[in-house]
Structure 1
Amino acid sequence: MTGLRVVPAWRHGNERLYVCLADGRNVAWYDRDSSRVNLLSEDREEEVLDALAPFLTGQFTVGPPPVPTPAELARLALHPDDDLAPNRPGEALRISLDRDPVPARRLRTDARHRALAAERTVGEALDELEGAGWRVLHSVPLPGGARIHHLLIGPGGLFCVGALAVRRQRVRIADPMVAVGRAEPVPLLRSIRSDAGRASFALTAEVRPVLALAGTGAADLAVAAPPRDVRVLREADLPGLARLGGVLKPADVEALHASARDRRTWLQV
Structure 2
Amino acid sequence: MSRLRVTPTRGQGRDRLYVTLRDGTTVAWYDKDTGRVSVLSGAGRDEVLSALAPYLTGEVAVGPPRVPTPADLDRLSLHPDDDLAPNRPGEALHAELDAPRAAPSGRSSGSHRSSGSSSSLLWRRWRQDPRQAELLAQETVGDRLDRLEDAGWRVLHSIPLPGAARIDHLAIGPAGVLAVRTLPARKRRVAVADPQVRVGRSAPAPHLRWARRAAERASRALAADVRPVLAVVEAAGPGALPTPRDVRILRDTEIAALASLGGVLKPADIESLYATARDRHSWLRV
TM range (shorter): 0.7 to 0.9
CA contact (8 A) 1:169 1:219 kept: no
In structure 2, the residue matched to 1:51 is: none
Query: What SS does the corresponding residue of 2:192 show, helix, strand or coil?
Result: strand
Distance across 1 between alignment mates of 2:264 and 2:184: 30
Residue 267 (structure 1) aligned with residue 284 (structure 2): yes
Distance across 2 between alignment mates of 1:179 and 1:238: 21
Runs of 5+ in structure 1 lacking a partner?
1-9, 28-39, 41-63
Residue 24 (structure 1) aligned with residue 60 (structure 2): yes
In structure 2, the residue matched to 1:237 is: 254
Distance across 1 between alignment mates of 2:34 and 2:73: 22
In structure 2, the residue matched to 1:74 is: 74
Q: 1:238 to 1:193 in 2, by over 3 A?
A: same
Q: 1:130 to 1:99 in 2, by over 3 A?
A: same
Deviation for aligned residue 1:12: 2.3
Deviation for aligned residue 1:25: 4.1
In structure 2, the residue matched to 1:203 is: 222
Deviation for aligned residue 1:105: 3.9
Q: Deviations over 1:15-63 (max 9, x none)?
A: 9645679983434xxxxxxxxxxxx5xxxxxxxxxxxxxxxxxxxxxxx
AA partner of residue 264 (structure 1): H
In structure 1, the residue matched to 2:113 is: none
Distance across 2 between alignment mates of 1:213 and 1:86: 24
Aligned-residue sequence identity (percent) comes to: 53
Deviates more, 1:170-179 or 1:92-101: 92-101
Q: Deviations over 1:77-122 (max 9, x none)?
A: 1000011000000000000001244821439811100100000000
AA partner of residue 26 (structure 1): V
TM-score, with length taken from structure 1: 0.75
Number of matched pairs: 222
In structure 1, the residue matched to 2:48 is: none
AA partner of residue 237 (structure 1): E
Distance across 2 between alignment mates of 1:191 and 1:240: 24
CA contact (8 A) 2:11 2:85 kept: no
CA contact (8 A) 1:87 1:138 kept: yes
Distance across 2 between alignment mates of 1:251 and 1:161: 22
What is the RMSD of the two structures over their aligned residues, measured on CA atoms?
Answer: 2.6
Deviation for aligned residue 1:247: 1.1
CA contact (8 A) 2:171 2:179 kept: yes
Q: 1:132 to 1:119 in 2, by over 3 A?
A: same
Distance across 2 between alignment mates of 1:263 and 1:107: 31
In structure 2, the residue matched to 1:113 is: 132
Query: What SS does the corresponding residue of 1:182 show, helix, strand or coil?
Result: coil
Deviation for aligned residue 1:72: 2.5
Residue 189 (structure 1) aligned with residue 208 (structure 2): yes
AA partner of residue 68 (structure 1): T
TM-score, with length taken from structure 2: 0.71
Q: 1:123 to 1:171 in 2, by over 3 A?
A: same
AA partner of residue 133 (structure 1): G
Deviation for aligned residue 1:220: 7.9
AA partner of residue 78 (structure 1): L
Q: 1:11 to 1:194 in 2, by over 3 A?
A: closer
Runs of 5+ in structure 2 lacking a partner?
1-9, 16-32, 39-57, 104-121
Task: Identify the match of residue 166 of structure 1 among 185, 210, 228.
Answer: 185
Deviates more, 1:109-118 or 1:210-219: 210-219
Query: What SS does the corresponding residue of 1:168 show, helix, strand or coil?
Result: strand
